Amino acid sequence: MAAGLKIVDRTSSAVNAGTFGVTGRPARWIWLPLATLETLLAAAVLSGWGPGTWAAAAVLAVFALAQAGALVAGRGGAPCGCFGARGRVSPGSVARTALLSGAAALLALATTTVPVELRIAAGAAAVIAAAGVVARARRTGAPDGALEISDEGPSLGTRIELAGAPAAGLRLAFFSSTDCRLCRGLLAPARELGASVHDELEDPQAWAAASVPAAPYAVALAADGTVLAKGLVNTRRQLASVLATARVRGGEAPAPAEPAKSRRGFLATASAAAGALVAARTVGSLIEPDEADAYHVCGHTFTTDSCPHPTGLPRIDRRGYPLRGRDGHRVDDLGRPINDEGAPVNRKGTPLLDPDDRALPPTKRTRVCAGAGKRYGIATQTDGTWSRCCDGHVRTIMDCCSTSARRINGDGALGGYCYGGRRVFCIVYFQTKIPC
């Protein structure tokens, strides 16, 4: 499974390698030897070959030590690529890998001969499971539910009036922007769900009435205009989930699926059904601003993903240089805290010393966006910026743009946010002191 996920998402594998000090061209190709090694070890374990099982235990032990070293170096929370792009370095990940290593060692010590039939059955089951994990990884690049933050958009339970919305029944309002390519891709699904469309330039009154933070955004209203659900949406399923959540909160059962009389009707029915399936997970699972660090920038790492950063979270200062995410302390390219002179220091602020007890000299510090371009061999530039409320203060998110047709997470790059024909490659953020 781990090998398959590395093959599917090679860009994330390169990003994850940075957590363990592998950068540049080696990082871009590290997925190949790792996936090959893991596949061979899996085959050795499934075949019951003793030396191969011992090798698996040894490799897992090395992986556990590498994660422990990253944790000690202050890179907790950084991507580890253990099982997919969302795996993070943590005490739990170290313990899990160590337990797997121990299990492999116990298997190698076992004296019972595994029957050939059982090996074949286990191998077939593993192949099926791995195929399922890989297929799911390709299919679930974004969460099913919309990003509903309680402090953004119209407050739940309040009433708003929107021109052009249906006069009766549960209704959906979709907020779009002319310059937003992602919005344009959701216009057809929104209309299939019966949503009224409100453009930022053509209908500014609706945007003001709904306190829309950004596009694409959706709001579900009861017949009297009461807000039942809301959220930022990036996919058809997320858009449908807003309407499905409103049905649950309004005490309505999901609408029965009628026979599709056309391709358009089929798509509308499929979207509503998908939304109904995920509504239960959406209700009551709001992503609060205080929890936003888990998503780097209040949820948007799912759609873009952050630029590689020495300590994981892509926090920068006003000039684009890296800061430690949890406290804003300046760090160098190795993730070490530095003092005012740029020299690395320990947790107490004391300069680090070399073997001759001399203070280590100031080390290199690269702008995060520029570092991302250097790592992937492309020209990058900070273009678009936008703001969100995180941890009680305004957080400015900055788009690191390039001419690459792919984003850092391997998806198609986003246009409409950058200048000069560039597209969003990855994102960084600057935490202001402005309360919100």
Is the pTM here over 0.85, yes or no? no
Sheet holding 217-221, edge to edge: 196-199, 171-176, 217-221, 227-232
The contacts of residue 25 (CB under 8 Å, 6+ apart) are 377
Listing DSSP states for 151-219 in one string gives TSSSPTT-B---TTS-SSSSEEEEEE-TT-HHHHHHHHHHHHTT-EEEETTT-HHHHHHHT--SSSEEE
The pLDDT profile of the chain, 436 residues, written as one tens digit per residue, is 888 877 777 766 776 777 787 776 787 788 788 888 988 998 888 877 888 889 999 999 999 999 898 888 766 766 777 775 557 788 888 899 999 999 888 888 875 566 666 666 766 766 676 666 555 544 444 456 677 776 678 888 888 887 755 556 788 899 987 767 678 888 888 888 888 898 887 888 888 888 887 778 899 988 888 888 888 887 788 888 888 888 888 775 444 333 333 333 333 333 333 333 333 333 333 334 334 444 556 666 666 788 989 888 889 998 899 998 888 899 998 888 988 888 888 877 788 877 777 878 888 899 999 999 988 888 899 887 777 777 677 888 889 999 888 888 777 787 777 877 888 999 999 888 877 7
Name the phi and psi angles at 426, rounded to 5: -155, 180
And the tokens for 270?
A: 């499929």
Cis peptide before 289 (omega within 30 of 0): no
For strands 171-176 and 217-221, give the pairing: antiparallel
How far are the Cα atoms of 27, 64, 90, 316, 380 from residue 377, in angstroms, in the given order? 12, 30, 30, 21, 9
Q: Is the dihedral of CA 424, 403, 77, 79 positive or negative?
A: positive
Of the candidates 23, 13, 17, 76, the one whose C-alpha atom is nearest the C-alpha of residue 366 is: 23
Each residue of 85-112: pLDDT tens digit?
A: 557 788 888 899 999 999 888 888 875 5
The residue assigned the tokens 């449908």 is 240
What single letter denotes the amino acid at residue 37? L
Contact 226, 308 (CB under 8 A): no
Domains and CATH numbers, the chain: 2-139 (no CATH), 171-282 (3.40.30.10), 289-330+365-436 (no CATH)
Buried b (16+ CB within 10 A) or exposed e, 311-320: bbbbbbeeeb
Contact 219, 211 (CB under 8 A): no
What single letter denotes the amino acid at residue 418? C
